């Protein structure tokens, strides 16, 4: 498949011959594909086998999906067709893709928002203007918790998945129809049909990629629903997260595994689902930006 010549280790004894052969294969693989890594792994079916890992490069990005835009649409009588179609998209991302939700007590962002709340509540009183700003921040934290929980209830309902195509059709027939928006919902639906049970965490293999590294950015830390990209908490939240991530040496990124215990005709590690998913999330966030307001 990779047309790598058989390693010549005739001058080495065991186990040095195994180590040398592995290093030669690894070096040759890198010359063929810089994005691939070669490892020797074992699992319940193999005492030892050669495997090629390929990672999806997240680009050190935060894939945070704002909730406030959809909440605003849900409350607008004129925007119900759009709101229902996007509820189907959010329901898919939450129920099937398993994107964490920031009001769930065990989510990463739940802890981050709680830390911000504690900082604000414990802040020194430096004057009336500063107190007013802290009151504004606490109001936002209350709103994001209350409204976020109500929206979480909505996207947890299976009905939005069942009526996805129906909701797209209803949006297409409404007066505020937009081709780009409908196309995005269609692309998410196609991804769901092609990968009906695939989670964003299915190809996270922290046990294979530098497993000895304990300070690592977990997938649930850079993939999540959150309240808003345009509120008074945004800068504080991102500064805190960036400071935490700077202490980490490894990012858990989607990684495909191709075992070489049997001959294969072609590579099986294209990460098609992840490539399409992360691209669609980027487009979704851009589309929602005009609705992300108080």
Q: For position 106, what pLDDT does the model report?
A: 93
In this prediction, residue 3 carries a pLDDT of 65
The residues of the chain scoring below 70 in pLDDT are: 1-5, 8, 29, 31-32, 42-47, 124-126, 261-269
Write down the pLDDT at residue 251.
94
pTM: 0.89
pLDDT of residue 1: 59
Q: Which of 4, 26, 70 is nearest to 226 (CA)?
A: 70
Quick one: pLDDT at residue 43?
66
List residues bridging with 250 in a β-sheet.
Answer: 216
Is the alpha carbon torsion for 254, 282, 225, 86 positive or negative? negative
Q: What is the pLDDT, as a whole number, of residue 247?
A: 92
Predicted confidence at residue 172, as pLDDT, reads 95
Q: What are the boundaries of each domain within the chain?
A: 63-197+221-251+275-291
Percent of the chain predicted with pLDDT > 90? 60
Q: How many CA atoms are closer than 13 Å to the CA of 220, on its beta-carbon side?
A: 15
pLDDT computed for residue 12 by the predictor: 77
91 contacts 190 by C-beta, under 8 angstroms? no
pLDDT digits (tens, 9 = 90+) for 43-68: 666 667 778 888 889 988 999 999 99
Sign of CA dihedral 190, 102, 58, 26: negative
C-alpha 66/C-alpha 289 separation (Å) is 9
């Amino acid at each position: 498949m990779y047309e790598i010549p058989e390693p010549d280790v005739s001058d080495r004894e065991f186990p040095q011959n195994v180590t040398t052969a592995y290093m030669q294969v690894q070096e040759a693989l890198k010359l063929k594909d810089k994005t691939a890594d070669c490892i020797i792994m074992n699992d319940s079916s193999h005492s030892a086998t050669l495997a090629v890992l390929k990672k999806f490069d997240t680009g050190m990005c935060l894939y945070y999906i704002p909730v406030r835009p959809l909440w605003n649409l849900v409350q607008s009588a004129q925007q119900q067709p759009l709101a229902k179609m996007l509820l189907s998209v959010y329901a898919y991302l939450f129920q099937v893709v398993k994107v964490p939700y920031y009001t769930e007590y065990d989510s990463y962002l739940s802890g981050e928002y709680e830390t911000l709340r504690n900082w604000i509540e414990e802040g020194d009183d430096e004057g009336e203007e500063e107190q007013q700003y802290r009151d504004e921040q606490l109001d936002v934290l209350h709103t994001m918790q209350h409204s976020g929980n109500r929206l979480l209830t909505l996207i947890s309902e299976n009905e939005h998945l069942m009526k996805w195509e129906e909701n797209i059709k209803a949006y297409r027939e409404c007066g505020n129809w937009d081709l780009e928006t409908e196309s995005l919902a269609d692309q998410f639906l196609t991804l769901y049909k092609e990968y009906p049970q695939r989670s964003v965490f299915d190809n996270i293999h922290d046990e294979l990629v530098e497993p000895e590294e304990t300070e690592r950015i977990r997938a649930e830390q850079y993939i999540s629903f959150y309240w808003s990209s345009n509120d008074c908490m945004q800068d504080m939240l991102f500064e805190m997260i960036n400071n935490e991530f700077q202490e980490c040496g490894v990012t858990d990124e989607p990684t495909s595994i191709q075992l070489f215990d049997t001959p294969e005709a072609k590579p099986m590690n294209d990460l098609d689902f992840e490539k399409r998913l992360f691209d669609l999330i980027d487009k979704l966030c851009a589309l929602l930006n005009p609705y992300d307001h108080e």
